[in-house]
Homo-oligomer: A and B are copies of this chain.
Amino acid sequence: MKVTPSLRNASVAGPSAALRERVRRPGYLKKLAQPSDLAPLFKANEAMHERIETEVERQIGWSGFTGVGYPKGTPTAIADHIENNNLQANPDTKKKFNLFVGASVGPEVEDRWARLDMIARRYPHQVGRDISKGINAGRINFADKHLSMFPQDLTYGYYSLKKNHGDPTKPLNWAIVEATAINEEGHIVPGASVGATPEILQSAEKIIIEVNTRIPNLEGLHDINHSWTPPYRQPYLISHPSDRIGTTAIAIDPERVVAIIESDKPDNTGENSPENEESRAIAAHLINFLSEEVQAGRLPKSLLPLQSGIGNVANSIIGGLADGPFEKVQVWTEVLQDTFIQFFDSGKLDFATATSIKFSPGGFDHFYKNWANYKDRLLLRSQQVANSPELIRRLGVIAMNTPLEVDIVCALCGIEMLNGLGGSADFLRNAKLSIMHTPSSRPTKDDPTGISCIVPFASHVDQTEHDLDVIVTEQGLADLRGLAPRERAPLIIQKCAHPDYKDILMDYYERSLHECLKRGAGHEPHMLRNALKFHTNFLEKGSMKVKSWD
């Protein structure tokens, strides 16, 4: 790697004592830089080539997952540089990048890049008002991908089919990653997430490491394995959530490290979504169901490893388990929220593994302060392993996630683009128990139940009927195991729909059944002409309350 003049001439203060303690490979300290010196290295100009896919040095990967463990300094400096020099106003200087991150990162970087129109592409998941706006306005090309698959597709070269600048064997021009330490070999100890960082580092020509000295050195928290591609891929030899198959740091080629910077910004997380009556009702139905499964002998007394999504229902469930009847519980999940601290502290959670810990600022304070209590009961893995179908299926995970809407034969979906499907499908498809929980309705500005989460026909399908065992709303729980579509539909309506929608949904189903049986196509009855009427009614009149099916 030839160090560019702009970097060589950078005026950099000597490394701080904190940084010298964290960076145990002395050669790296010679590469110490300031983010503002690095910003001009990112040259990709929109007008340089006719087709955006072929522009130079457009491909950038960051560390980060669910808004933690992402680089803070360099992305901010690049945005500052662009803003201060007013580069986006002129097509000859405008910069747009293809941005690859395991999942979401802090809004102060991702949303800011979106506002500055610096993002040409973004894979495979995002969270933020401005990035969502950019995608829906057609300025950003986004595609969501199962989080277990994104890193492998990256290493396969599927996101760089048209890359024609730099090393053809490396899908990314740049990796910018956060570390909490660097070991003697120059390998990287991540922060509060692993995500796709190992594959992003493996895929990059040039690496910038942001060593965060504000967060404790988390060495030992991670289990990092090399990501082989076929035909060289081997079994993940894990049969219990606490099994280790890797090392404590991410191996990289030190020659590819362009710069080290010291960072002292915390992960910009918010407060957890507060529980409410609805989320507690859902959690109560669910814990009751799990108890019945234990009684019936279909689950062990300590359950099987749990996966739980993000949000207030997830908080209520995990909070409920902390007070619940199950002991020595194991967790195999994507991300841990604050209530897991409660669950650990209750003594009922034996061991948890995830790819990220997304605590609130107060949660992180507590966690880092009491690190000794948690460090032997927790492991962070890459998202390719945490979300691996191989492991989710082998361990018999109990998966609990939130959809946007559910149709009456159970295709699951979201209207518009929200955040992307994330890891939900990795878990739902492979879990021993696939559970979706949602409020039965959501408010519009005029009507507290203007949107029904149970609809005749989903307007976008991310998960299908073949991947779901149980649906829970605050109204009740529908156990769909072993049922055919004609049995599922009335059960979901009866148990899960909001009372405001029960009759209209049942009327849809009965008319559909009548029509479809008549023409000998009654397996999954629908009136296709009316199938999306909940949605068109909502678009036209602001409510899903369809007056009639005639």
Interface residue ranges, A against B (CB under 8 Å): 121, 123, 133, 135-138, 141-146, 152-153, 156-161, 169, 229-231, 233-240, 296-298, 300, 304, 388-390, 393-396, 411, 415-417, 421, 425, 429-430, 432, 459-467, 469, 479, 481-487, 513, 516-517, 520-524, 526, 528-529, 531-532, 535-536, 539
Contacts and interface: CB of A to CB of B under 8 A. Distances in A.
Nearest to A421: B466
B389 A158 contact: no
Main secondary structure of the interface of A (DSSP, over half): loop
Contact of A230 (B304, B416, B523): B304
Nearest to A145: B466
B532 A536 contact: no
Number of copies: 2
B429 A429 contact: yes
Contacts of A138: 486, 513, 517, 522
A388 B133 CA distance: 39
A526 B461 CA distance: 13
Contact of A137 (B429, B483, B517, B532): B517
Nearest to A398: B230
A243 to B, nearest CB: 11
27 contacts: A123-B482, A135-B522, A136-B520, A137-B522, A138-B486, A141-B487, A142-B484, A142-B523, A143-B482, A143-B483, A158-B481, A159-B481, A159-B482, A169-B297, A231-B396, A234-B394, A235-B239, A411-B461, A416-B523, A425-B429, A425-B464, A460-B524, A461-B461, A462-B464, A528-B535, A528-B539, A531-B532
Contact of A523 (B237, B389, B417): B417
Contacts of A462: 464, 466
Given A144-B466, A462-B466, 13 more contacts: A136-B520, A143-B482, A230-B304, A231-B300, A231-B304, A233-B396, A234-B394, A411-B461, A417-B524, A459-B526, A528-B539, A529-B532, A531-B532
